A and B are shown apart, each in its own frame.
Chain A
C-alpha cells in the first residue's frame, strides 16, 4: 500500500482528475455536501492513526481526529483547488494534536495496551512481547519534543519524505533533518537503556 504524499498526487498545480480525494474535494466545493463522507472514507485510515502516533493514547487521538474532520468540514470551502489536500490534512492533524498537547499536557503513556489488534498466526508470547515493545516505543516517543515527534512520525511512520515533512510542518528541510536525527538517536538510546537485560532486547 503506498504511503506518503507521493501516492497522493504530490505535485503542486492542477491535481490529477482521477484522484478520488481531489474529485471529492471538488465535489464538496461545488456544493455536494455528501462528498464529505467520501473524503472521510478515503482518509479515515490515516488521521486517527496519525493522531494516535502523535499523542500516544487512543481516546485523545480519537477526539483530536474528530476535531480534524470538523475543521476540514468547516474550512474546505476555502481550500484552494490544486493544492495538495492530504498535505493540508496532515497539517491540520499535527496542529490539532499540538493544540491538544498544549492544552492538556502530554498524554500518560499506557504501559500496556491490552486492546491491540490480534495478528493472524501470532502466538500469545509474541503478542505479549509486541505489546511490551509498543509500550516501550510509546514511552520513547513521549520523551521527544512535539517537533521531534512530528518529524519522526511523519517521516518514518507515515512515509513522507523530508521535503514533504518540511512542508507539512512549515519548516526548512534542514530543520526536519536535524529533528529526525535527534529523534532517532533519542529513541534508540531510550530503548537501549530500558532493554538492557530484557529478553529479546537488541537495540
Chain B
C-alpha cells in the first residue's frame, strides 16, 4: 500500500470499518509512515471530539416535558376532532332539514277539482304574467280606488284586491 491509498482508507480504518486484510495493510503501513500516522492521529482526535460534542443537550426537565407533550399530542386528534365532527353533524342536519322542506314546497299540488264546463273548447282569456300586479287608475273626478289583480298559476283563479285610497294630508 502506498501513502495515497492509505490516506484514502484512513477515515474508515480509524473506526474499524475496513475488512480484516485491508485493515492489517493500513496498520502495517502506519508503522513506517510518519505523515500517515499523523493523519490517522488527527482523524482519531476529531472523532473523539465528535463523540464528546454529540452529547444531547436535553435536561431531565426537558425530557419529562417532551414525554408529556408527546402523549398529549398522540391523544389529541380525537379530542380536537370532536367539536369539528359535532359542527359537521349539525351542518348536515340543517342541510337535511332544508332539503326536506324544499322538496315539500316543490312537491306537485293535488290536481284541481274538476270544473264543469259548458263549452270545453271555449277560448280562454289571455293570461297575464303570473304574480305581476296590475293597477288600474281610477276614473277622473272620483276618489282613487286602488285595484290590485294577481293572477295565480291556475288561469281560472285570479285574486283581485280593492282599496279606497285616502288622500294624504299636506
Residue of B nearest to A162 (CB): B17
Q: How far does the alpha carbon of A41 sit from the alpha carbon of B70 in the complex, in Å? A: 11
**Number of A-B residue pairs at CB separation under 8 A:** 116
Chain B residues closer than 8 Å to A134, beta-carbon distance? 53, 55
A37: Cβ under 8 A from any B Cβ: yes
B28: Cβ under 8 A from any A Cβ: no
Encoded as 1 (CB less than 8 Å from any A CB) or 0, chain B from 129 to 170 comes to 000000000000000000000000000000000000000000
B46: Cβ under 8 A from any A Cβ: yes
**With contact pairs A58-B58, A187-B50 given, residues A202 and B45 touching in the complex (Cβ less than 8 Å):** yes
Residue of A nearest to B8 (CB): A181
Q: How far does the alpha carbon of A73 sit from the alpha carbon of B78 in the complex, in Å? A: 13
Chain A residues closer than 8 Å to B46, beta-carbon distance? 184, 187-188, 191-192, 203
Encoded as 1 (CB less than 8 Å from any B CB) or 0, chain A from 144 to 171 comes to 0000000011011100001000000000
The answer, among A113, A180, A191, for a CB contact under 8 Å with B49, is A191
| Closest chain A CB from B139 CB (angstroms) | 83
B122: Cβ under 8 A from any A Cβ: no
Encoded as 1 (CB less than 8 Å from any A CB) or 0, chain B from 55 to 79 comes to 1111100110011011101100000
A117 touches B49 (CB 8 A): no
Residue of B nearest to A113 (CB): B57
Interface size class of A (residues with CB under 8 A): 35 or more
A52 touches B56 (CB 8 A): yes
B21: Cβ under 8 A from any A Cβ: no
| Closest chain A CB from B75 CB (angstroms) | 8
**With contact pairs A36-B74, A69-B70 given, residues A156 and B51 touching in the complex (Cβ less than 8 Å):** yes
**With contact pairs A52-B56, A191-B49 given, residues A66 and B69 touching in the complex (Cβ less than 8 Å):** yes
Chain B residues closer than 8 Å to A155, beta-carbon distance? 15, 17
B11: Cβ under 8 A from any A Cβ: yes
Chain B residues closer than 8 Å to A66, beta-carbon distance? 66, 69-70, 73
Q: How far does the alpha carbon of A41 sit from the alpha carbon of B69 in the complex, in Å? A: 13
B14: Cβ under 8 A from any A Cβ: yes
Chain B residues closer than 8 Å to A25, beta-carbon distance? none
Chain A residues closer than 8 Å to B43, beta-carbon distance? 184-185, 188, 203
The 4 A-B pairs at the shortest CB distance, nearest first, are namely: A49-B56, A137-B53, A203-B46, A184-B11
Residues of A within 8 A of B (CB): 36-37, 40-41, 44-45, 48-49, 52-53, 58, 62, 65-66, 69-70, 73, 113, 115-117, 130, 133-134, 136-138, 140-141, 152-153, 155-157, 162, 177, 180-185, 187-188, 191-192, 202-203
Residues of B within 8 A of A (CB): 8, 11-12, 14-15, 17, 42-43, 45-47, 49-59, 62-63, 66-67, 69-71, 73-74
